[in-house]
Structure 1
Amino acid sequence: MTPLLRHHSIILLIMRRLRAPLILLISILAISVLGLTLAPGVDDEGKVHYLSFFHALYFMSYTATTIGFGEIPHAFSDQQRLWVTLCIYLSVIGWAYSIGTVFALLADRSLQLAIRTHRFLRAVKRLREPFYLVCGYGETGRLICGALDQLGYRAVVVECDEVKAGEIDLHSYRADVPTMCADARNPELLQFAGLTHPYCVGVIALTNDDSANLAIGIAARLLASKIPALCRAETPETAANMASFGTRHIINPFEKFAEYLSLALHAPAAWHLLTWLTGLPGTTVERERDPPSGNWIVCGHGRFGRVLVQAMEQESAVSLTIIDRESSDDPHHRWVQGDGTGAAALEQAGVREAAGIIAGTGNDVDNLSIAVTARELNPALFVILRQNHYANRSLFEAYDSDVDVVPSEIIAHECLAILTTPLLVPFLNEVKRRDEPWCAALLDRLTGKFGWQVPSVWSERISFMQAPALHHKLMHGSTIALEEILRAPSNRNDELACEVLYLHRDDDDHLLLPDPETEIRAGDELLLIGRQEARREFDLTLSNEHALTYVLTGRDLPGGWLWEKFSRATAADPAPHER
């Protein structure tokens, strides 16, 4: 669908559709006025009188519109009344045809599409704040848009399904979300949707069609190479194709969870820390028991099952038994033919002695059935449950599994981590390289300080644009340590409920969990974790010279131009006893 408004306005489209009714009405009016001027009448003195064109037009105007003020300027003759009667019936026919055409035009899908497109283009063009272009408003798209809205970011959505696109108006977003119902594979549409808009800061391709995500990634790479593009890919072939033309971030939810599971098996604390830091804002993460070693049963050897098997093969303390409807001659694993929903296949796979089970088929009902049956046979079983559709969330919440695998949530977590806090990715990579005791100590300290509710994680660059007050002081030779700016601007004796996790410097001198005494330099980028109110106070300290001066020195500067001038004059004038 190419927007109809690129070359034609809505007014021109309406006038073109109403061309015939307008011509008919104008013709009826012209003939009626002409005939009325030719019909002879009689004035008050009994003389023959003809109406002027002005009087004829005036009379036909209010007669044709059924207003009816009477006969002017004199009572009509029989000839005039006969002609007027004929004109009334003609005008009724003309108006009936015109009104019918208008109703048909209002119901015309092309006009409705043109009006919606015009509104969308106007809304995108008027954006004057950073926004993300989200292609696909399925389960993942809803989570992404909701999280971005909570974090204060704008979003523009392109969705080909009218029903899904219409659901956006039903969600109570804080800011309007411009939405276009169209196929995002069209690069021209992506441009209209804001791909090349100066305030577009990222593109997220979340459709359930790998070919569509691939097309979006190519368009983003060629038309807006400077902004990050995040593309969902569920097959290795698509991911390899995306990587070949330089797509920066490729997200495969199955591979990402396999990475998490592998991490959880040998470093549970690092896994809990990663899950907590990348959770959706406003949610609470409950710490579950750690995945045990031993024999695991994998039910379903499709795309998801194969990726998990490949990841778990790397763990020496884990052995695998695979249950699938199709048999296999794989010599490296034990196979049981079946679907796992019945006790027979599970018993044959050794569920009573197993350490854990993964219900990973593509059917939510089958996965729940597998989990319920397996738990009845082995109550101590560690259960990983795949949830294919977010709409079934209430069913999965009712069942107490150890881990729910929700692809839409995995993608949403990863997208938010990459887009809103770029420093979180290198920090998490550093965490994965640390040993288990280090990760456990950090997890206990942070959750003890902030609780298990997903904290606010954000990045701050010490630059003129993002931190003008602090940047100004550093550029004028001031020496400032981290601990000096992590104080409340309302009371400098109180520490802010946040801390610095990672310090990134342009000279590659990066610091993990920097010491409070670390000196800040202009150009540094900080990754912080804390409460939302602490983030607002920290932003005030970085941007407001008065707040920063108070935090650093305890001196409260006057708050206006007049008071500042008076304060300088008072400081320059010595006290009487000093004269």
Structure 2
Amino acid sequence: MNKVIFLFLRRMRTPLLVLIGAYTVSGVGLLLIPGVDDQGEPWRMSIFHAFYFLSYTATTTGFGEVPYAFTDAQRMWVTFSIYLTIVAWLYAIGKILTLIQDPAFKQALGSQALDRAVRRMKDPFYIVCGHGDTGSMLVRAMVQRGRHAVVIDYDPDRINDLELADLTLHVPGLLGDASVSRHLKAAGLLHPLCRGVVALTDDEEANLKIAITSKLLNPELPVICRAHTRSTEDNMASFGTDHIINPFDAFGERLGLALRSPGLYLLREWLTSVPGSPLQEPVHPPKGTWILVGFGRFGKAVRRAMVAQGLSTVVIEIDPSRAGCDGPCVEGRGTEADTLRLAGIDQAVGLVAGTEQDTNNLSVIMTARDLKADLFMVARQNHCDNQDLFDAARPALVMRSSEMIVESILAHLGNPLLARFLELSLGRGEAWANELLSRISGVTDERVPEVWRVHVTARGAPALHALIREGHPVTLGLLLEAGQARYAILNCVPLMLCREGEERLTPSEDTLIEQGDRLLLCGRPRATDYLHHLLRDQQALRYLVTGDNRPDGWIWRMLGMGRPEPAASPDRDR
């Protein structure tokens, strides 16, 4: 039985019995008390007339003595019946209002609404477990990119925030524990259009259980999880979790990349930031001695990255023995000038404020700036609500774990080729990165580029696929020139070409495009829409690439004048 109906019948059983009893008693009295008809003869009310009279009298919608005028005895009984049924109705209505406010009934209504929304899903969607700072940021970013999602969270306030969010697409929300298998199944874990599960709860054990449940119930479904410790990462990996994000290790790796190759670091930032936003300025962290305030998970990850680059560090920690400091360490909070001087701020080149309290991190930055204005500052921001404060403090780098996790998830969900490109680019040098940065800035007007992929298939790029199938050689440069000739805004930079296991970074313009190729491109925002239209307009693409303005209407094809002429396959440089 439906949960809502079951709860309603169970909670309203007594009020319904009271209503039925009140109507029964009133009706029986009207049937038994004799009346007088218009001829003065004794008359008794029928069951129909009694029910009809009570229906409009007990609900206070009107009054009339039908079919004949009542006797005094009948009027006395009707007076009693009116008060009896009104009291019964007031009692029943009060119980209904109480039921509507019952948390269990609200949850049943929410579950029913979610089941209905999931059943009606017509587009691919992702299950997002957790709607805190990171989860809400991810859902908003997915909706902006036209992707659907279903949210699970145990906090009713977060589900209410989801319902009140100004989103262009409807995002169903389920109030419940995402680590419980029935909640995952209710959210669409076994739905044929479900494309993945993202575990972003604050509890690592819950994220681990979500990964295990998803892989056991639907092994083919991609699962992305957040983890803060190495042991949890290893446990998740043992169950085949597709992508595990540790924001502390990720920032440590980025900081290490900025120290080793500022160009590669800047390239990563440009390609993973929000398209259309201003391009980030180059960052050049100095080499020398760094002060690390806070030696928790974040501090340890940053220290590993710095030690890997050959840098020396001094740690400031409230409880060094508990934190496990194994190098130069000063006991203190780091918010006091004396502690910073004791740590050697005069000789240091940089400082990382990495505690779990945003107020302490801001205090450390302000105190350190008063002592040494040219110090390179790195800050950890724990809560999104404090972004204005960190913007005003102006540290050189800010570690926002929510943004880093969302960027990594979007790269894997929306464009796996980008994640692979960023991985392969780590093997390239600074000169290669600087040259690519120059090309990107030249076509994007100092704005973060849009990154997209093109799959040369009959479905992904039908016009280009048909042109190649007809035997016309199409190079990458020729395709980009055709796009620019059609749309002036369509100025792109090729980032990678994938072909039968071969992966080429920044392919040259004379590279021949073949059927089945996958291209990773970047350019101005909305350039992807123009290229999408061009790759589906066979007549326009043929004319721009070959100069052949062949009629392609239905009538011309019927007459045989629009059929492609066979062309010899040219020799291709592989």
TM-score by length of 1: 0.91
Q: Report the Cα distance in structure 1 between the residues aligned to 2:8 and 2:543, rounded to whole angstroms.
A: 63
1:238-253 aligned at under 5 Å gives the runs 238-253=232-247
1:127-206 aligned at under 5 Å gives the runs 127-206=121-200
- Which residue number in structure 2 is paired with residue 54 of structure 1? 48
1:78-477 aligned at under 5 Å gives the runs 78-316=72-310, 318-327=311-320, 333-477=327-471
The 1:44–1:441 alpha-carbon spacing in structure 2 relative to 1, beyond 3 Å, is: same
Amino acid at match of 2:347: E
After TM superposition, give the deviation of residue 556 of structure 1 in Å: 6.0
Q: Report the Cα distance in structure 1 between the residues aligned to 2:324 and 2:199, rounded to whole angstroms.
A: 36
8 Å CA contact 1:489–1:547 kept in 2: the answer is no
The 1:227–1:451 alpha-carbon spacing in structure 2 relative to 1, beyond 3 Å, is: farther
- Which residue number in structure 2 is paired with residue 576 of structure 1? none
- 2:524 equivalent among 507, 517, 531: 531
8 Å CA contact 1:492–1:550 kept in 2: the answer is no
After TM superposition, give the deviation of residue 558 of structure 1 in Å: 6.6
The DSSP-based 3-state class of the residue aligned with 2:61 is: coil
Unpaired segments ≥5 residues, structure 1: 1-6, 573-579
8 Å CA contact 1:558–1:564 kept in 2: the answer is no
Please say which of residues 426-435 and 176-185 is displaced more in the overlay: 426-435
8 Å CA contact 1:487–1:496 kept in 2: the answer is no
After TM superposition, give the deviation of residue 15 of structure 1 in Å: 2.9
Amino acid at match of 1:203: V
After TM superposition, give the deviation of residue 326 of structure 1 in Å: 2.9
The 1:544–1:195 alpha-carbon spacing in structure 2 relative to 1, beyond 3 Å, is: farther
Matched, 1:520 2:517: no
Q: Report the Cα distance in structure 1 between the residues aligned to 2:398 and 2:429, rounded to whole angstroms.
A: 26
The DSSP-based 3-state class of the residue aligned with 2:329 is: strand
Amino acid at match of 1:174: T
Amino acid at match of 2:529: R
The 1:10–1:465 alpha-carbon spacing in structure 2 relative to 1, beyond 3 Å, is: farther
Q: Report the Cα distance in structure 2 between the residues aligned to 1:451 and 1:418, rounded to whole angstroms.
A: 26
Matched, 1:564 2:558: no
TM-score by length of 2: 0.92
Matched, 1:482 2:472: no
- 1:543 equivalent among 519, 536, 547: 536
Amino acid at match of 1:532: P
The 1:290–1:126 alpha-carbon spacing in structure 2 relative to 1, beyond 3 Å, is: same
8 Å CA contact 2:439–2:493 kept in 1: the answer is no
After TM superposition, give the deviation of residue 11 of structure 1 in Å: 2.9
The DSSP-based 3-state class of the residue aligned with 2:452 is: strand
- 1:74 equivalent among 68, 72, 76: 68
Unpaired segments ≥5 residues, structure 2: 563-574
The 1:569–1:204 alpha-carbon spacing in structure 2 relative to 1, beyond 3 Å, is: same
The 1:170–1:550 alpha-carbon spacing in structure 2 relative to 1, beyond 3 Å, is: farther
Q: Report the Cα distance in structure 1 between the residues aligned to 2:96 and 2:136, rounded to whole angstroms.
A: 37
The 1:281–1:120 alpha-carbon spacing in structure 2 relative to 1, beyond 3 Å, is: farther
Q: Report the Cα distance in structure 2 between the residues aligned to 1:249 and 1:494, rounded to whole angstroms.
A: 38
The 1:494–1:50 alpha-carbon spacing in structure 2 relative to 1, beyond 3 Å, is: closer
8 Å CA contact 2:456–2:515 kept in 1: the answer is yes
8 Å CA contact 1:498–1:528 kept in 2: the answer is yes
Amino acid at match of 1:113: Q
8 Å CA contact 2:484–2:490 kept in 1: the answer is no
1:33-52 aligned at under 5 Å gives the runs 33-52=27-46
The 1:444–1:483 alpha-carbon spacing in structure 2 relative to 1, beyond 3 Å, is: closer
Q: Report the Cα distance in structure 2 between the residues aligned to 1:327 and 1:28, rounded to whole angstroms.
A: 75
8 Å CA contact 2:266–2:283 kept in 1: the answer is no
After TM superposition, give the deviation of residue 386 of structure 1 in Å: 0.9
Amino acid at match of 2:228: E
Q: Report the Cα distance in structure 1 between the residues aligned to 2:455 and 2:160, rounded to whole angstroms.
A: 38
- 2:15 equivalent among 10, 13, 21: 21
Q: Deviations over 1:53-94 (max 9, x none)?
A: 222222222111222341112211222222222222221222
Amino acid at match of 1:40: P
The 1:192–1:543 alpha-carbon spacing in structure 2 relative to 1, beyond 3 Å, is: farther
8 Å CA contact 2:333–2:339 kept in 1: the answer is yes
The DSSP-based 3-state class of the residue aligned with 1:67 is: coil
Q: Deviations over 1:232-277 (max 9, x none)?
A: 0001110111111211111100100111111111111111111111
Structure 1 vs Structure 2: percent identity of aligned residues?
42
Amino acid at match of 1:420: G
Q: Report the Cα distance in structure 2 between the residues aligned to 1:459 and 1:453, rounded to whole angstroms.
A: 19
After TM superposition, give the deviation of residue 158 of structure 1 in Å: 0.8
The 1:333–1:38 alpha-carbon spacing in structure 2 relative to 1, beyond 3 Å, is: closer
After TM superposition, give the deviation of residue 452 of structure 1 in Å: 4.0
Q: Deviations over 1:275-314 (max 9, x none)?
A: 1111134433421430011111111111111111112111
Please say which of residues 127-136 and 274-283 is displaced more in the overlay: 274-283
The DSSP-based 3-state class of the residue aligned with 1:103 is: helix
After TM superposition, give the deviation of residue 212 of structure 1 in Å: 0.8
After TM superposition, give the deviation of residue 229 of structure 1 in Å: 1.1
The 1:567–1:81 alpha-carbon spacing in structure 2 relative to 1, beyond 3 Å, is: same
The 1:358–1:203 alpha-carbon spacing in structure 2 relative to 1, beyond 3 Å, is: same
Root-mean-square deviation (Å): 2.3
Q: Report the Cα distance in structure 1 between the residues aligned to 2:398 and 2:101, rounded to whole angstroms.
A: 46
Please say which of residues 404-413 and 50-59 is displaced more in the overlay: 50-59
Q: Deviations over 1:332-381 (max 9, x none)?
A: 73222222111112112221221111111111111111111112221111
8 Å CA contact 1:481–1:518 kept in 2: the answer is yes
Amino acid at match of 1:425: A
Q: Report the Cα distance in structure 1 between the residues aligned to 2:338 and 2:296, rounded to whole angstroms.
A: 21
After TM superposition, give the deviation of residue 170 of structure 1 in Å: 2.8
How many residues are aligned here?
561
Q: Report the Cα distance in structure 1 between the residues aligned to 2:90 and 2:173, rounded to whole angstroms.
A: 36
Q: Report the Cα distance in structure 2 between the residues aligned to 1:14 and 1:41, rounded to whole angstroms.
A: 40
Q: Report the Cα distance in structure 1 between the residues aligned to 2:467 and 2:502, rounded to whole angstroms.
A: 22
8 Å CA contact 1:504–1:525 kept in 2: the answer is yes
The DSSP-based 3-state class of the residue aligned with 1:395 is: helix
- Which residue number in structure 1 is paired with residue 26 of structure 2? 32
Amino acid at match of 1:422: P
Q: Report the Cα distance in structure 1 between the residues aligned to 2:325 and 2:334, rounded to whole angstroms.
A: 21
Q: Report the Cα distance in structure 2 between the residues aligned to 1:91 and 1:557, rounded to whole angstroms.
A: 83
Amino acid at match of 1:60: L
Amino acid at match of 1:172: D
8 Å CA contact 1:28–1:90 kept in 2: the answer is yes
Q: Report the Cα distance in structure 2 between the residues aligned to 1:73 and 1:310, rounded to whole angstroms.
A: 94
